[in-house]
Amino acid sequence: SQQGEEDPQALSIQEGENATMNCSYKTSINNLQWYRQNSGRGLVHLILIRSNEREKHSGRLRVTLDTSKKSSSLLITASRAADTASYFCATRDKGTYKYIFGTGTRLKVLA
């Protein structure tokens, strides 16, 4: 079964709005990462948050991590049509250092 589960599975918003995606996971983690995938392409790393961090920013991205609830959220502010993609969370398993991916959120930003 998947370590991470993203919510919602799909999200459609207007350009300029904010997009929030959530990720839940099951085990103890070393860190949590978010990746972006344009249709049919390879995944690209967006941001990493360590297990001892609660919030991190990178440009228009804001990530939060709540280890007590085993959940994370990714906020994209002032979205653009070019942000249309699938977004995946990935957790770094503390015991084995494997990366486990969630099922992804498909974001569509309408111009």
Residue 75 CA: distances (Å) to CA of 8, 78, 98: 13, 10, 25
SS3 67: coil
Cα distance between residue 76 and residue 47, in whole Å:
12
Minimum Å distance from CB 33 to another protein? Answer: 6
Q: Among 11, 23, 25, 35, indicate the residue that binds another protein (CB under 8 A).
A: 35
The answer to whether 92 contacts another protein (rule: CB under 8 A) is yes
- Select from 104, 62, 63, 110 the least CA-distant residue to 86: 104
The answer to whether 10 contacts another protein (rule: CB under 8 A) is no
Q: Among 21, 102, 107, 109, indicate the residue that binds another protein (CB under 8 A).
A: 102
Binding track, positions 47-86, relative to another protein; x by CB under 8 A: -x-x------------------------------------
